[in-house]
Amino acid sequence: MNTLPAQSDALLDIRDLAISFKTDEGKVRAVDGVSISVKPGQIIGVVGESGSGKSVTMQSILRILPGNAIVERGEILLRQSRNGSDAEVVDVTQINPNSKRMRSIRGGEVAMIFQEPTASFSPVYTIGNQMMEAILLHRDVNKPEARTIAIDMLARVGISNPERRIDQYPFEFSGGMRQRAMIALALSCNPSLLIADEPTTALDVTIQAQVLELMKDLQRDLGMAILFITHNLGVIAQIAEEIVVMYLGTIVEKGPTREIFHNPKHPYTVNLLKAIPKVGQSRTRLAAIEGNVPSPLERPTGCIFHTRCSQRTHGTCDVYAPKLTQIGPDHTTSCFLYE
């Protein structure tokens, strides 16, 4: 057990996290030195291309990484009460993933919305059975009370006639409804932190906008913090207060959403923003980042982005690794252009 420093009001504090995977080809470093702090009620967006380490970082909070994963260093400090700055915290990396304590955190204090709800729900149990199982596990209620809570939660996420829908199976729901039911399941135990892993990727644009608006409304009503993972900066602009940009397992830039969009510094962030389609420019060719994301088995020396960066400096970027540099009140980036 630890106690949060008096000046800290973080609900979740990830410090210098490094995670590797054992493979037949060798050890793969998936996350390297990631530090993220989340305050109660805050919405933070984590963006980057596939393979940037976003999902691995978030899965490590719930200790649901594959068996070949190794947490090499770092801490994941989770505050377990809402009583102020002297609250007790626990280092999640030190808890057995299969322990009763970890199961009480997983789904209770920290919940997760996965990318594909079809794979998250069992096809042989009703939506209600699966929601009630989670509620009975994490809340001190009986079965009738759990059913009432589940119906109320389905209604809150905008599912019509929840009294009937609760007894239906996942395949009887449309894609948008399954995603809403997944949100209802995640929020049914009143978590302090919600991790949303690409929750709108499988949805069409109209439903995507509805789900984002729903999540903002629920966050405002329930006061929970949200870690929102996506590769889509356009989605992040609608929901997040702060953005963390990841590339190949490291953080290359982070800061307030408005600052990142209007004053991006790292060449990777700049190129990501150039790739967003703009209204009225349908005939303009979108900018593409040259090259491909390197294999984790062959991580570049020096700056991890230098193999794709048009502003790289030979002898510096390919040799030395830049550190996160403060370039504004809450704005940092890891690039030699600003060191």
pLDDT value, residue 81? 64
Backbone angles phi, psi at 205, to 5 degrees: -60, -40
Q: Tens digits of per-residue pLDDT, 175-199? A: 888 888 998 998 888 899 999 988 8
Mean pLDDT of 309-320: 91
Q: Which residue stretches of the chain are H helix?
A: 54-62, 100-105, 117-120, 127-138, 143-156, 162-165, 175-187, 205-222, 233-239, 257-262, 267-274
Q: What CA–CA distances, in Å, run from 136 to 11, 99, 126, 240, 255? A: 25, 18, 16, 32, 39
Instruction: Look up tokens 């996420």; give the residue.
Output: 157
pLDDT value, residue 202? 66
Q: Compute the residue count for the chain.
A: 339
From 8, 240, 11, 7, select the one nearest 109 (Cα to Cα): 11
Residue 145, domain member (yes or no) = no
Domain count, the chain: 1
Distance CA 265, CA 337 (A): 9
From 337, 334, 306, select the one nearest 319 (Cα to Cα): 306
Mean pLDDT check: name the lowest of 47-61, 95-109, 269-283.
269-283
Strand partners, 34: 17
Distance CA 65, CA 60 (A): 6
Residue 42, domain member (yes or no) = yes
Residue 27, domain member (yes or no) = yes
pLDDT value, residue 223? 87
Q: What angle do CA 189, 102, 126 make, to 5 degrees?
A: 45
Residue 227, domain member (yes or no) = yes
pLDDT over threshold 80, residue 207 = no
From 311, 301, 329, 299, select the one nearest 268 (Cα to Cα): 311
Q: pLDDT category, 4, cuts 50, 70, 90?
A: very low
Q: Tens digits of per-residue pLDDT, 209-262? A: 888 888 888 888 888 999 999 888 888 888 899 999 999 999 999 999 999 999
Domain of residue 9, CATH code: 3.40.50.300
pLDDT over threshold 80, residue 31 = yes
Task: For the chain, give the percent of residues with pLDDT over 70.
Answer: 92
Residue 115, domain member (yes or no) = no
From 5, 47, 1, select the one nearest 251 (Cα to Cα): 47
Q: Tens digits of per-residue pLDDT, 59-96? A: 999 999 999 999 999 999 998 764 444 568 899 999 99
Distance CA 19, CA 63 (A): 12
Residue 179, domain member (yes or no) = no
Q: C-alpha 58: how far from its chain's center?
A: 5
Mean pLDDT of 48-64: 92
Q: C-alpha 131: how far from its chain's center?
A: 22
Helix 205-222 vs helix 175-187: crossing angle, to nearest 10: 10
> For residues 204 and 313, which has the higher predicted lDDT (pLDDT)?
313
Residue 77, domain member (yes or no) = yes
Range of the domain at 28: 2-109+191-333
Residue 53, domain member (yes or no) = yes
pLDDT over threshold 90, residue 57 = yes
Q: Quick check: helix, strand or coil at residue 3?
A: strand
Give the list of residues 6+ apart from residue 337 with CB closer than 8 angstroms, or none.
265, 267, 311
Contact 184, 153 (CB under 8 A): yes
